[in-house]
Amino acid sequence: MANYLLQRLVGTIPVLLLISLLVFLLIHAAPGDPTLMLLGEETNAAEVAKAKERWGLDQPLYIQYWRFLKSAAAGDFGKSFKYAEPVINVIRARLPATIELAIFAIFIATVLAIPLGVWAGARPNSWIDNLGTTCGLFGISMPSFWLAIMLILLLAGVLNILPTSGRSTYGIAGPEQTGFYILDSVMQKNWRAVWDALTHLFLPAIALGVNMLGILMRVTRSSILEVMNEDYVRTARAKGLRENKVVWRHVTNNALIPVITVVGLELGTLLSGSIIVETVFSWPGGGSLLITALNARDYPLVTGLVMTYTMAFVTINLIIDGLYAVVDPRIRY
């Protein structure tokens, strides 16, 4: 398996190069001069020329890209135009918020979707199957931005039980250690801060996880239906095993491969696709940072964020490939 994963890892190098080239060319092709956007329209030509020289924008595009590749190979994405800090530091400060949101969204989705999908697949055409199908279609067809706005109107505006934006209430969270508010609060035994962070996290996690819940429920149901017709399932029933044991021990274990695949793909999608939800809830993560960088034409920050998301997606897929053999020992690489 190690050789297989190594081959997959080497095969991602051309993918990263292609994506970096596309992002680099597209962001430079976008209208708008970053020097005028950041310095202001009233800036004179001498100051604009000086800023372009400082940021390397006076060089031909192929030289800028070559410099970026050399720096990126050493783990340096350059310095942000807007924040005047190394891009890696800006991303490191904001990425924990996106990871925290994605983890809780996928936790909510899997906890609800997998049991519902198993029950629906084990009892086709029953009331639980109809309920699961309805929930799945609702999650798949529901736009995340509309659901986010409705959640804010209902739970924050009408019922006034949850906050509408941010990661925590000012003055409650303790000193930041890892960047993950809940983990930091648990380590400091600040239970009030833990509850405050969870209340701020609930609405965006629901808005982000509902779509994945629908997809995961439908995949789980289809996989369970397929496995239920296998010979070993009929043999287990013939031996007199209880139906719950047949479903959860024999059927579910063998139906997890496509479910794990979808979870891995959706986790990568959640990391990179939380832009709208983060914007609606003013969540200070990588998604809202990307919007800010795009508006400012901050070339290094945009490219660094996209490459970070790409590498995260590749890493998640490698981990998923490794989990296949753990879930199903028959799989060999």
Q: Give the end of a domain, one of 73, 88, 111.
A: 73
Same-domain status, 57 and 151: no
Quote the pLDDT of residue 146: 86
- 308 and 242 inside one domain: yes
Identify whether 114 is part of a domain: yes
In a domain, 55, yes or no: yes
> Does one domain contain both 253 and 118?
yes
Q: Is residue 275 part of a domain?
A: yes
pLDDT value, residue 288: 83
**Among 263, 289, 265, CA closest to 275:** 289
Q: Is residue 194 part of a domain?
A: no
Domain count, the chain: 2
CATH of the domain at 299: 1.10.3720.10
Q: Are 223 and 137 in a shared domain?
A: yes
Q: Choose the final residue of a domain: 55, 73, 91.
A: 73
- Cα 156 to chain centroid, rounded: 25
Q: How far apart are CA 144 and CA 148, in angstroms?
A: 6
Same domain, 107 and 31: no
User: Is residue 15 assigned to a domain?
Assistant: yes
Q: Both 64 and 114 in a single domain?
A: no
Does 108 lie in the same domain as 66? no
224 & 302 share domain:
yes
Listed in sequence order, the residues at least 6 apart from 331 whose beta carbon sits closer than 8 Å to its beta carbon are 324, 325
Contact 41, 311 (CB under 8 A): no
Asked whether residue 138 falls in the same domain as residue 259, the answer is yes
Pair 125, 244 in one domain: yes
Residue 199 falls within a domain, yes or no? Answer: no
pTM summary value: 0.81
Q: Is residue 173 part of a domain?
A: no
With respect to residue 312, please indicate whether it lies within any of the assigned structural domains.
yes
Distances (CA, A) of 292 to 30, 69, 87, 296: 15, 23, 13, 6
What is the C-alpha separation between 286 and 91, in angstroms, rounded? 7
Is the domain of 54 the same as that of 134?
no
Looking at residue 271, what is its pLDDT?
Answer: 67
Residue range(s) defining the domain that contains residue 217:
102-155+209-327
* pLDDT by position in tens, the chain (length 333): 667 667 777 777 888 888 888 888 888 787 777 777 777 767 777 777 787 777 777 788 888 888 888 888 887 888 888 888 888 989 888 888 888 888 888 888 888 888 888 888 888 888 888 888 888 888 888 888 888 888 888 888 888 888 888 888 877 877 878 888 888 888 888 888 889 889 989 989 998 888 888 888 888 888 888 888 777 777 777 777 777 777 777 777 777 778 887 887 777 667 666 788 888 888 888 888 888 888 888 888 888 888 888 888 888 777 777 777 676 666 665
The residue with tokens 């005028």 is 36
Domain stop point among 56, 73, 90: 73
Residue 182: the pLDDT is: 86
- The reported pLDDT for the residue numbered 331 is 64
Does 118 share its domain with 253?
Answer: yes
